[in-house]
Each structure stands twice: as C-alpha cells, then as structure tokens.
Amino acid sequence: MNTDLQKYLFLFVKSQDKPAYDFVPYKFGCFSFQSYADKRTLTKYGILADQDDWKKDDDVDYFSMLNPDDRRSLRKLIVNYGNLKGNELINRVYCDYPYFAINSEIINSILTADQIAKVEDEKPKDAKPGIFSIGYESKSFDHYLNQLVQNNIQILIDVRKNALSMKYGFSKNQLKNALEKLRIDYLHLPELGIVSKKRTDLNSLDDYNRLFKEYESTVLQNETDGLQRIVNELATRKRIAITCFEFDHKYCHRSRVINKIQHISSSKIEVSYI
C-alpha cells in the first residue's frame, strides 16, 4: 500500500500546476520524503491511523475541501489508474517516467530488457570533475535532493557551523540518512562555518561582504585541514557539492570556501550553481 500510494500521489501532483510534492528516484521508484513527514504529522493529530496503509481515521470530508482543479484531477486519476495496483501500477509509472526508476531495486522483476534500457538512458552520466554550490533556502527537501541526484553528486559537504534547521529534512541526521538512501555521502565540516552571533544586522550585500572578508582572514586562513579535506574529496569523488542555507551564493560563505579551494587546488575547477 505504501508503494502504491507514492505512485498515486506522484501521478496526482503531475497534474497540478503547482505540484504539492516533489519526488526523488528511490529504491521502489518515485518517492517523497516530505509526504512521510506529513504522514507522521497527520497520524499525530488523529487524521490518519497509526499503521502502514495510510488509512483515514476521522469522519471529515476532505474531498469537498479540495479546489475544483484538484477534485477533477483526483477523479481523473481514479478513472485512469484506479484499477492498477502493485506491479502493474509500478510498471506504468516506470514506463511513463523512467528517470524515477534509476535507483529501483525491483526493476528486473517489473520491466522488460528494452524498458530497462530506457531507464539506463535516464541515469545521470556526467562524470566531469567539478564543485557544485547549493543552498536549501526556498527549496523543498525532495527538490533539493533531486538536484543532487540529477547532477551526479558523489558527496555533499555541509559547511554550516550548526547543522540544524527548523525546515524538515535539513538537520544533520535527517539529511545524512536521506542522502545515504540515495547513495550520496555526507560530510559535515563545522570548522568552516560562521558563528551565529556574527550573522546579525546583515541588511545588504555590503554587510555580507564585510563579514566574509573577515571570515577569509580568520577562519579560512586558519582552518587548512578542513579545506584540504575538501580538496581530497574533490580529487577522489570528482563531483562534490558544498551546501549551506542561502539560495544566492553571493550571500553565503560557501562562495568564499569555493574560492579558496579554487585558489589552493592544483588544477582548474569548474563551479556550478544549483
């Protein structure tokens, strides 16, 4: 039931102008980590029963609360896919959206050889060495993870001083565990972070630049071991991502970390912003 519901939810949001959820290619196909976090919340408030089959546990008519477009989409989903369950449903989704089957552990029992070949074609293949700069501000957890998968990132390096977040998924253990499930390694280098008290009263890019200039002359000048670890990871993993909170790298100290890595590296490094 859990696998079926993920497929139904995926197909439903594909019909939305503004999808309610993002998905990643996981071991049974398309999967939303956020949906499971929401399930735990719904269970906490007695809306869903505390069991695996996502059974509604109250008498509220939530269908009537949907906007007209979503009601039509849900009815259409039932007509087009309501008779599909289990392997038949998975096969349909894998065939229509082969990218989301790239990490499937059950693909050989679901698809034919020709269908598997189409999935193989969807796998990210770019192996050119490079550093990717990524912030999670304004991004859903699944969208963020999917950007890493799509860019064939081998290791995510977190340069936050404190890897904690009020936003679901972005605290250290949540992030590390999700990445491991997607076969991406995680490394936290808090020594390359900036203490919170220095981040107050930052109202303009000039304010940030003054902070980062001090950061370069203190932290980056002294934390050579952390910087060398990044250089080493780049040499062995080839495609690495440096992460922090801010969406715009110009407002984040990770930009200065990357500049320093470019300066000390023995080879030219391509930097991409995702």
**Residues in the chain with pLDDT values less than 50:** none
Q: Provide the pLDDT for residue 154.
A: 98
Q: Which of 122, 150, 171 is the last residue of a domain?
A: 122
- Beta carbons of 42 and 13 less than 8 angstroms apart: no
Pair 14, 138 in one domain: no
- Beta carbons of 256 and 215 less than 8 angstroms apart: yes
Q: Provide the pLDDT for residue 47.
A: 93
Pair 140, 219 in one domain: yes
Domain ranges, residue 156: 130-273
Q: Which of 58, 88, 122 is the last residue of a domain?
A: 122
**Rounded-to-integer distance, Cα 241 and Cα 239, Å:** 7
Pair 117, 137 in one domain: no
Pair 71, 166 in one domain: no
- Residue 271: phi and psi, rounded to 5, are -110, 130
Pair 70, 169 in one domain: no
pLDDT tens-digit series, residues 150-202 = 999 999 999 999 999 999 999 999 999 999 999 999 999 999 999 989 988 89
Structural domain total, the chain: 2
Q: Find the CATH number of the domain harbouring 211.
A: 3.40.1010.10
Q: Provide the pLDDT for residue 50.
A: 80
**Rounded-to-integer distance, Cα 196 and Cα 50, Å:** 39
Q: Provide the pLDDT for residue 144.
A: 98
The model carries a pTM of 0.94
User: Tokens at residue 57, please?
Assistant: 């546990």
Q: Which of 74, 91, 122 is the last residue of a domain?
A: 122
Q: Provide the pLDDT for residue 255.
A: 97
| SS3 assignment, position 195 | coil
